[in-house]
Structure 1
């Protein structure tokens, strides 16, 4: 769907514009033609050939930007209007809360907008339809000091345009006009989030729910911020509160589904996302969440398709573009994945996500130096996500990005750098599975660090999420009397840091001189609350000379892990190994 050329066309009575996001587009009329590449734009009139123009990327897709609804007409304001008008306003408000903006606008009809509360409601509806120019014109026709809802809606427009100073001024003005205004408090929460004060934004949203305990929009905002902070339980409770107040509130079911997804209730989350799409199939967040759930359940193609739909519905969202590229990586479609990462970087140069995923792509393509560069770029931009992540979650992100950088160092043989990188990652997040695994792999290249290596592998096992690759048994056995090296590689390599699937299988066979034969396999099956994995290996080889005995090594491993709750994991393991033969190392190096 987004595989190839993507562009936006705007056609007017006197002229037309074309803006290319990716790929190449040939444009032309009777007067001439022009070929456009990524980021190019033209304007053409009936009497002239297409000519280049400068357009900001977001200008071409302003209709697709999500403008959250903050202004609502409460029962107190409704009581001031005649019965006929009150019914119109109630219908329009209800449809707007549910994301049905066209129906909301139809319900308003030709209702005069001289009243500031009606003007704020209509402006919010127009923003929901992407008719930004009409909304801003309506807001400009009123003094923002006439009502807090007008100032609050104006603040939302500024937030969407990344005009944070103007947004904060408008939000503070709304609060100054009426501290009890829910619209003012919600607008302030969006401004605080945009200025990287996420905990404070959550506190303001919580205050809004205390001011209006029956306002579903306020509770939806609170749920959204709780989930951004990683509080799945609190976010789920707030989302369920929204559903109890009005089950058709925009994004309410999607937020409840994300809470389930964070608690690893994947199948239930999928059902919630599907139910949300029945209510509103135009919400990119819902399609994105469904895509993540499907991929975690093993439906890579279906999950990728949903992420594609999300990117089409919100084409200016760099994070969605990055995750679409990640989904393409799951299908080994490296070229189109790289194109999405490039587009995401153009849309948001400050985002670390495309650099992070592109580092994995470069590792898969055996370009470790490029992976190191991309990993360093991702680390440099890590704190830019503070509008969406708490400081604790940013530390976890930094640890994951650092670990991916260490994997690149390993590929180029920088063992000391890989070890130092792993230690730095653990300083950021001592519970990082990938960092413990990276440090174990670094220790595999260090003499007399076998016990430390096994200790790091054990910690990686204890913290490993359900659905990731199981460790091959030879990785976790005590020192084997063979030359070191193979234990530092594994089937999953870079993809283990973000990849979860219900079924895994990998097998290797090798043969060589001196009657050397070896084989190994690992397999696992996982579900929402548990994973069972098995592994076995066998190695046989004749001695290098008559003084050295033949070698026979074998082992097996059965591992089971069960998640009792989202915070408690039980792990059990059975291992067995046999070793027969002499020591190959001693006579080689004595």
Structure 2
């Protein structure tokens, strides 16, 4: 009777297996019978009946290892981790050579976050019973949880070869194929598993995911609906069903499934995270903030499904989502804090670097840090169909940086599922001063390849005479996954920029009516990533650039020698190569790398002086600007405790060549930082480090951009050296109230090329920032900040001797679930400036208020966003010295604009 049932079970005929033992007499006293029947009952989810059979078996044989093993599994499912471990250990003691007991112990260990122990127990199980297909299937699961996809597939194939007619082995094999994007084989395995056991929801879920990956969203969604109907109490399946409805734009149904999943398993952060994303894209950022905070609090409970190593990657992804929500609310400082925490938790996580890249866009003089984080994100990213906006990888966008289409959050309309298909984004802007901008991006993914093609065109007449700008950018990007562990990518970028004198200076008469600047750059980049293990990754980046930079001024000395002119032509050919290794373990992460940068360039200078009575006197010379730069670095984030991180680093730079401001350097730069969480909602950061402003290709580098959250790559003059010291504290008082303060100082040695030699000036900078962010209502976000920046130098070479700037921005944001939102920001600015000129000093003081406002509407079904707004709404006339020469922070005149973004499908 039992033998017939077992044979039917091994053939995958669960119903016949039950039928074969249905006539068992009530007087059965063999504990093996009750253990076997309990096993069958568990396979179809009848837990209470199985528990009763297990109790009967244990009354007959208290140390029956098989019964104790099944009891362990029930305890794990019910969330009683301590009891599960106690029972599993008792089973192993009762039968040390039982593979079943070792498998049960692995589940108990995994529930307690001991993933290494769980893997060791399963390895013992397969050693004790090499013919146990379920043991091999379990080992495949754990191998996948550690990111070892190759071993996961090999072990799954072993399990299937032993028992090809078990739904369980076919299901595990299907997931092993799916994680390697071998979707055809995955579908075959899942369909075989479904044939073997029509009532098993897991192969239905897998089949749905495989179809979605192939671009068949509707078909895949229906399979996941079937999986949910087979096991309505499975929170994970409910979360995936919610994701499916989100992708199908069935608004409301997705949040319903997330809510059900949250009720079924309140300790699983997955539905909270996806629910937050859904709420964010339906204009409910405050509610989204609450959900993501809850997801992070629950993060460790995902250890049941993921290894500790990959669990921390989950935390980084959730922090990245949290940072995105902070940005929508206008809480920019908190977005930065979450970005730094994400990168320090997992430097291999692409979404953490993406968050920092987006967050740095709002900070002055952070262009190098922004585009460098973008480069690191691109090299680490998996295949995706997210459109790559051409402007994102370009630094120094000048006047068009603040109001262009790229102001929209990069990941605003991203899909939750990677699947074959095409995505299209179109953005446009029109505003005062003849300002127009447009951007179109087409991206797609097919199998193991992804590509993106984009073009951007922006132009403005500017805020005064000769402050116009025209900027055209194009890019093409392709990425190919050669294996699950190896990815290669290539990118081509083109940029043509023309502008006048756009620098905003304190004294309004200080500008040129005739200066013109043009740039044309062609850049090719090739990159690669190889994962030796999930905690050991190598990145390679190679870049070539041809650049032609020109400056002309038809009246360079208008008040003294009218008609005198100057022309500077600077052609350059550049090459860079960077190699980086990322190592990650539970207690330490190490980022080590080396780079080589080579520039072949020259400056052709022509000066024509119109001297009365003598006519034009012209001089012409050529200066070579060749430079080779070698750098090495190593950074370690050491985590002796979960709440404490020490950052230790050292970098070295060697330069040689003709470029006087940078060549001939031999620099050693120590780095030190501390990040401490004395309380769960308190973050303290301290840092001190030395840095060198290197000459970079496209302003991008793989070297870490920050130490304990303090940026080390500012947009300084090439060859600038110095030290930075800083401290900060960020406090979450409640889930709706956040406060923080930060202070740092930089002591710099800045080079200036003089007529005959390089002169260096000592420059001091101080930065202070405090903030209060509050969400008193699900529709309302309030913020108040204080920012101070002090700059001091000798005042030569066109630099001001002193600039003290204080800003006090206040902001109110209103977000209605219907899709409408409104943001108003009032900023008080107070500035003192002193200039040291050849014959006298000029000093000035200014203080004024600026008002910025914007009204937006999110189109239904995430099709896009429309905004109308104004900066400097009341057209305030003021004097101001802009410290960020490449990306102005305020508008000197009223700028009214309308902007739209459309996203398809």
For residues 110-166 of structure 1, what are the alpha-carbon distances to aligned partners after superposition, in whole Å with 9 as ceiling and x for unaligned? Answer: 345433323321222233344445444433334233632233333333333334444
Match of 1:349 among 234, 252, 266: 266
Q: Is the CA contact 1:514–1:543 (under 8 Å) kept in the aligned structure 2?
A: yes
Match of 1:569 among 462, 482, 487: 487
Aligned twin of 1:126: 41
1:319 matched to 2:254? The reply is no
RMSD: 2.4
* Higher deviation after alignment, 128-137 or 116-125: 128-137
The CA distance in 1 between the partners of 2:419 and 2:330, in whole Å, is 28
Aligned twin of 2:29: 114
Per the TM alignment, residue 171 of structure 1 is displaced from its structure 2 partner at its CA by 2.9
Per the TM alignment, residue 497 of structure 1 is displaced from its structure 2 partner at its CA by 6.8
1:542 matched to 2:461? The reply is yes
Per the TM alignment, residue 501 of structure 1 is displaced from its structure 2 partner at its CA by 4.6
Match of 2:385 among 463, 468, 482: 468
Q: Is the CA contact 1:273–1:287 (under 8 Å) kept in the aligned structure 2?
A: yes
Task: Count residues with an aligned counterpart.
Answer: 502
The CA distance in 2 between the partners of 1:212 and 1:138, in whole Å, is 25
* Higher deviation after alignment, 429-438 or 515-524: 515-524
Aligned twin of 1:52: none
Q: Is the CA contact 1:491–1:506 (under 8 Å) kept in the aligned structure 2?
A: no
The CA distance in 2 between the partners of 1:192 and 1:170, in whole Å, is 12
Partner-residue secondary structure (3-state), 2:414: helix
Per the TM alignment, residue 378 of structure 1 is displaced from its structure 2 partner at its CA by 0.9
Aligned twin of 2:221: 304
Per the TM alignment, residue 331 of structure 1 is displaced from its structure 2 partner at its CA by 2.1
Partner-residue secondary structure (3-state), 1:334: coil
The CA distance in 2 between the partners of 1:394 and 1:215, in whole Å, is 29
The CA distance in 1 between the partners of 2:89 and 2:39, in whole Å, is 19
Q: Is the CA contact 1:270–1:293 (under 8 Å) kept in the aligned structure 2?
A: yes
Match of 2:476 among 558, 572, 582: 558
* Higher deviation after alignment, 388-397 or 200-209: 200-209
Per the TM alignment, residue 424 of structure 1 is displaced from its structure 2 partner at its CA by 0.4
Match of 1:283 among 196, 200, 208: 200
Per the TM alignment, residue 240 of structure 1 is displaced from its structure 2 partner at its CA by 0.2
The CA distance in 1 between the partners of 2:47 and 2:429, in whole Å, is 64
Aligned twin of 1:139: 54
Aligned twin of 2:8: 95
Q: Is the CA contact 2:292–2:322 (under 8 Å) kept in the aligned structure 1?
A: yes
Per the TM alignment, residue 222 of structure 1 is displaced from its structure 2 partner at its CA by 1.8
Cα distance change of structure 1 residues 162 and 373 upon mapping to structure 2, 3 Å threshold:
closer
Per the TM alignment, residue 362 of structure 1 is displaced from its structure 2 partner at its CA by 2.0
Cα distance change of structure 1 residues 500 and 489 upon mapping to structure 2, 3 Å threshold:
farther
Aligned twin of 1:66: none
Match of 2:147 among 230, 233, 239: 230
For residues 505-564 of structure 1, what are the alpha-carbon distances to aligned partners after superposition, in whole Å with 9 as ceiling and x for unaligned? Answer: 11223334444332211112322222222111112333445x226432212111111222
The CA distance in 1 between the partners of 2:211 and 2:469, in whole Å, is 46
Partner-residue secondary structure (3-state), 2:105: helix
Partner-residue secondary structure (3-state), 2:106: helix
Cα distance change of structure 1 residues 403 and 118 upon mapping to structure 2, 3 Å threshold:
same
The CA distance in 1 between the partners of 2:242 and 2:328, in whole Å, is 23
> Gaps (5+ residues) in structure 1?
1-87
Partner-residue secondary structure (3-state), 1:291: helix
Aligned twin of 1:244: 161
Pairing 1:517-532 to 2, within 5 Å after superposition: 517-532=436-451
Partner-residue secondary structure (3-state), 1:205: helix
Aligned twin of 2:172: 255
The CA distance in 2 between the partners of 1:303 and 1:370, in whole Å, is 29
Q: Is the CA contact 2:166–2:193 (under 8 Å) kept in the aligned structure 1?
A: no
* Higher deviation after alignment, 450-459 or 246-255: 246-255
Larger radius of gyration: 2
Normalising by structure 2, what TM-score? 0.53
Q: Is the CA contact 1:441–1:488 (under 8 Å) kept in the aligned structure 2?
A: no
Partner-residue secondary structure (3-state), 1:475: coil
Cα distance change of structure 1 residues 135 and 361 upon mapping to structure 2, 3 Å threshold:
closer
For residues 166-191 of structure 1, what are the alpha-carbon distances to aligned partners after superposition, in whole Å with 9 as ceiling and x for unaligned? Answer: 44443333323322222222222222
For residues 37-62 of structure 1, what are the alpha-carbon distances to aligned partners after superposition, in whole Å with 9 as ceiling and x for unaligned? Answer: xxxxxxxxxxxxxxxxxxxxxxxxxx
Q: Is the CA contact 1:152–1:171 (under 8 Å) kept in the aligned structure 2?
A: yes
The CA distance in 1 between the partners of 2:502 and 2:418, in whole Å, is 37
Q: Is the CA contact 1:529–1:564 (under 8 Å) kept in the aligned structure 2?
A: yes
> Gaps (5+ residues) in structure 2?
509-879, 882-905
* Structure number with higher helix proportion: 1
The CA distance in 2 between the partners of 1:582 and 1:504, in whole Å, is 36
* Higher deviation after alignment, 549-558 or 124-133: 124-133
Q: Is the CA contact 2:44–2:200 (under 8 Å) kept in the aligned structure 1?
A: no
Q: Is the CA contact 2:358–2:409 (under 8 Å) kept in the aligned structure 1?
A: no
For residues 333-392 of structure 1, what are the alpha-carbon distances to aligned partners after superposition, in whole Å with 9 as ceiling and x for unaligned? Answer: 231222222222211111111211121122112222222222111111101111221111
Partner-residue secondary structure (3-state), 2:62: helix
Q: Is the CA contact 2:12–2:196 (under 8 Å) kept in the aligned structure 1?
A: no
Normalising by structure 1, what TM-score? 0.79
